[in-house]
Amino acid sequence: MSDTTNPLDDPTADPFEIAATAAADIARLTGVAQHDIALTLGSGWGKAADLVGETTVTIPATEVTGFSAPALAGHVGSLRSILTPKGKRVLVIGARTHYYEGHGVRRVVHSVRTAAATGATTMVLTNGAGGIKSTWTAGRPVLISDHINLTGDSPLEGATFIDLTDLYSTRLRDVARRVDPSLDEGVYCQFRGPQYETPAEVRMAKAIGGHIVGMSTALEAIAARQAGMEILGFSLITNMAAGIQTTPLSHHEVIEAGREAEPVISDLLARVIGEL
Ligand code: HPA
């Protein structure tokens, strides 16, 4: 994959200007001047956008300034514009750049900054993740109530002091629970990855208040807050975290759990977005 021309790799460039250019690309390529909601699809959530509404345009993410080709099978490399039955425009981001890819945090949060620049005021972040709570089993969607950023990095540059209270909006979590009262919630711990955690790291995550372990979302949520968006986060528990489940973790297992859960989480997500 040739990434040498990505403008975000120029340290003197302004990432917000690049996001504005990307948003203009999206407006031109979709014919939609402004989006209302953005939705990032993580592992297992790939099909979940299909029920949200009518897809009016699909564009390869590589045609939009600053986006990278997908690093991984199971991660869809496209952007879609969807019109919901209530007339809202949803920008679906199926092209997440992970921190573990090593391209830097500007690339990781570019989709979120671009979404904000398209006009979206709500950011829905989804992921596939490991579960810590003993009452959870693989295939279960849960709400993210808060996060612990264990990457040691931040999308904020310089002395940018931003409040992260109620980062994962209580209001939006209430909306989701009205759709599905059985939704549980938990604190998401973002590890750097790409290796899965050791059992000792999972015990640490539990000891410091974590319930979900994964490799995305926290850095994106910080950038979304910086951009003034309201955030809703969902994890699909694709496996119990290392050491909680006694069998070894595999990427194949994660993808399979996503595939099996797809109908249920697609329906859930469509109904929640319909209420936003
Ligand atoms: N840990 C980190 N990331 C993951 C996991 C996990 O157990 N499952 C799916 N993504």
DSSP collapsed to 3 states, 222-253: HHHHHCCCEEEEEEEEEEECECCECCCCCHHH
Amino acid in the structure at residue 105: V
pLDDT of the residue at 143: 98
Pocket of ligand 1 (CB under 6 A): 128-130, 196-197, 213-215, 238-239, 241, 249, 254
Amino acid in the structure at residue 81: S
Count of domains for the chain: 1
Query: What predicted TM-score, i.e. pTM, was given to this entire model?
Result: 0.95
pLDDT of the residue at 13: 95
Strand partners, 188: 147, 212
pLDDT of the residue at 46: 79
29: CATH:
3.40.50.1580
pLDDT of the residue at 95: 76
CA 248 to centroid of chain Cα atoms: 25
Between the CA of 189 and the centroid of ligand 1 the distance, in Å, is 10
Query: Which residue from 119, 111, 118 is spatially nearest to 94, judged by alpha carbons?
Result: 111
pLDDT of the residue at 200: 98
Count other Cβ atoms within 10 Å, centred on residue 75: 17
The residue contributing the CA closest to ligand 1 atom 3 is 214
pLDDT by residue for the chain (276 residues), tens digit each? 444 578 999 999 999 999 999 999 999 999 999 999 999 998 888 788 889 999 999 999 889 999 976 555 545 489 999 999 999 999 999 878 999 999 999 999 999 999 999 999 999 999 999 999 999 999 999 999 999 999 999 999 999 999 999 999 999 999 999 999 999 999 999 999 999 999 999 999 999 999 999 999 999 999 999 999 999 999 999 999 999 998 999 889 888 888 889 888 999 999 999 999
pLDDT of the residue at 259: 86
Alpha helices in the chain (DSSP H): 15-30, 105-108, 110-117, 170-179, 199-207, 218-226, 251-275
Ligand 1 pocket mutation pick from 197, 206, 234, 256 by most atoms within 8 angstroms of CB:
197
- Over the range 9-46, which residues count as b (16 or more CB within 10 Å of their CB) and which as e? eeeeeebeebbbbbbebbbebbebeebbbbbbbbbbbb
Between the CA of 118 and the centroid of ligand 1 the distance, in Å, is 30
* Domain membership of residue 164 as a residue range: 3-274
Ligand 1 pocket mutation pick from 127, 203, 213 by most atoms within 8 angstroms of CB:
213
pLDDT of the residue at 43: 82
pLDDT of the residue at 4: 52
Q: What share of the chain is helix, strand, coil (3-state, %, to 5)?
A: 35, 25, 40
Terminal CA-CA length for the chain: 37
- Rounded Cα–Cα distance for residues 95 and 214 (Å): 17
DSSP state of 96: P
Between the CA of 25 and the centroid of ligand 1 the distance, in Å, is 33
DSSP state of 97: P
Strand partners, 93: 40, 79
- Any idea which residue has 């697609």 for tokens? 266
| Cβ-based neighbours of 247, under 8 Å, separated by 6 or more | none
